[in-house]
């Protein structure tokens, strides 16, 4: 069967990971990647054998001067594919929309874009079927992806009210120009944009989000209090349910995983296992000892690796748009098998 042809425009933190993930799928073909500058990430694309195209205001001469062969401009790449994953910086995706439409290519956008950039917002566990047949989808942001996955689990017990405080990483590890470097900065907009964003997946979810930004680059951590309508008997039932759900990891007491430094150490230790990318943790991460059920009140912490959690969601978004899998579960299983993602 012919594979679906995929382009990735924007080969940075998210784009390079999505490109690697697409290249591992048996039903998808990575036709090429595009960026504007011939930096170290462009060099990696060439080293990995990905045909490299020049996007936007980029100059092919500068790529040539850097010794990087290019296969053409973005328009040439769009002429060869069925779908483009736009992983350009915030708001550039919206500017690119006209290009994709003119080339008659479907598009997957990222969470830095406003929701109306696409026909629907997407999270695989949350609303896979809403993506079927769409010409454009927006994979929600890292934090929203983490909350939407958790919501997909918790809704089986009914959610009466959910308060989340997001402790947000200040910058990605490579972003040396962002801070704070010595402070805690509250997000004074309340609710933070994450709550309304989760409702692009679950429109009726009674969730309120607040956020603070802290000087770390490793991960975000969410502090959750959920009032359940029909709680399970014990916290152990919650743990067992999470452990049997794809894309969740629950660390047991005694494993020595106290916080995000050890979580990322586990990620580094698992690099290469079953296709896992170095230092990536694509699962929602919880601590068994940090899951408490007090009557109808559920408390839990979860950690979110901002650089990689949306990667499998992009793959599933493509499958949903083109109806490539018989079901949500089949798509998630195929993606997770190819990327070495844990189930439970």
Ligand X SMILES: NC(=O)c1ccc[n+]([C@@H]2O[C@H](COP(=O)([O-])OP(=O)(O)OC[C@H]3O[C@@H](n4cnc5c(N)ncnc54)[C@H](OP(=O)(O)O)[C@@H]3O)[C@@H](O)[C@H]2O)c1
Q: Which of 6, 8, 15, 293 binds ligand X (CB under 6 A)?
A: 15
Q: Which of 139, 114, 100 is closest to 18 using CA atoms?
A: 139
Binding segment for ligand X (CB under 6 A), chosen from 81-89, 230-238, 281-289, 334-342, is 81-89
Interface map 145-174 toward ligand X (x if CB under 6 A): ---------------------------x--
CB of 145 to ligand X, least distance (A): 7
Token pair, residue 15, equals: 């784009």
**Does residue 92 interact with ligand X by CB under 6 A?**
yes
C-alpha span between 88 and 37 (Å, rounded): 12
User: What contacts 148, CB < 8 A, 6 or more positions away?
Assistant: 123, 125, 126, 140, 198, 201, 202
* 5 strand-pairing partners: 29
**Does residue 341 interact with ligand X by CB under 6 A?**
no
Q: Which of 90, 160, 269, 294 binds ligand X (CB under 6 A)?
A: 90
Token pair, residue 253, equals: 């007491």
Q: Which of 112, 139, 107 is closest to 126 using CA atoms?
A: 139
- Active-site residue identified among 140, 142, 282, 332: 142
10 is catalytic: no
- Radius of gyration over every alpha carbon of the chain, rounded to an integer in angstroms: 20
Q: Which of 50, 51, 85, 111 binds ligand X (CB under 6 A)?
A: 111
C-alpha span between 216 and 29 (Å, rounded): 36
Q: Which of 35, 168, 276, 277 binds ligand X (CB under 6 A)?
A: 35
Closest residue by beta carbon to ligand X? 12
Query: What part of residues 297-316 is at the interface with ligand X (CB under 6 A)?
Result: 306-307, 310
Secondary structure letter of residue 112 according to DSSP = T
* Residues belonging to the active site: 142
Site for ligand X, rule CB under 6 A: 9-15, 34-37, 39, 41, 55-56, 87-90, 92, 110-113, 141-142, 172, 306-307, 310
């Amino acid at each position: 069967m012919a594979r679906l042809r995929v382009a990735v425009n924007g080969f940075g933190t998210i784009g390079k990971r999505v490109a690697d993930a697409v290249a591992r799928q048996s039903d998808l073909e990575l036709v090429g990647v595009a960026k504007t500058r011939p930096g170290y990430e462009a060099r990696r694309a060439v080293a990995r054998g990905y045909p490299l195209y020049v996007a936007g205001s980029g100059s092919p001469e500068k790529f040539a001067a850097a010794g990087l062969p290019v296969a053409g401009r973005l328009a040439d790449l769009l002429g060869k594919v069925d779908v483009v994953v736009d992983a350009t910086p915030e708001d550039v995706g919206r500017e690119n929309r006209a290009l994709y439409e003119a080339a008659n290519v479907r598009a997957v956008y990222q969470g830095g874009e406003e929701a109306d950039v696409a026909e629907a917002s997407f999270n695989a566990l949350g609303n896979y079927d809403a993506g079927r047949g769409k010409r454009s989808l927006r994979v929600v942001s890292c934090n929203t992806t983490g909350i939407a996955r958790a919501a997909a689990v918790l809704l089986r017990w009914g959610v009466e009210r959910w308060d989340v405080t997001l402790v947000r990483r200040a910058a990605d590890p490579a972003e040396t120009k962002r801070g704070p470097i010595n402070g805690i900065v509250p997000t004074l907009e309340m609710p933070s944009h994450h709550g309304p964003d989760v409702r692009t997946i679950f429109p009726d979810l009674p969730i309120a989000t607040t956020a603070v930004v802290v000087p770390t680059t490793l991960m975000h951590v969410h502090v959750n209090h959920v009032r359940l309508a029909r709680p399970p008997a014990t916290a152990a039932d919650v743990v067992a349910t999470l452990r049997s759900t794809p894309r969740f990891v629950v660390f047991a007491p005694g494993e020595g995983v106290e916080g995000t430094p050890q979580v990322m150490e586990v990620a580094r230790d698992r690099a290469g296992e079953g296709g896992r990318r170095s230092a990536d943790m694509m699962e929602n991460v919880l601590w068994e000892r940090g899951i408490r059920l007090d009557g109808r009140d559920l408390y839990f912490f979860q950690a979110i690796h901002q650089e990689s959690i949306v990667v499998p969601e992009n793959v599933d978004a493509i499958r949903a748009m083109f109806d490539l899998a018989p079901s949500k579960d089949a798509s998630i299983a195929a993606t997770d098998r190819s990327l070495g993602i844990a189930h439970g």
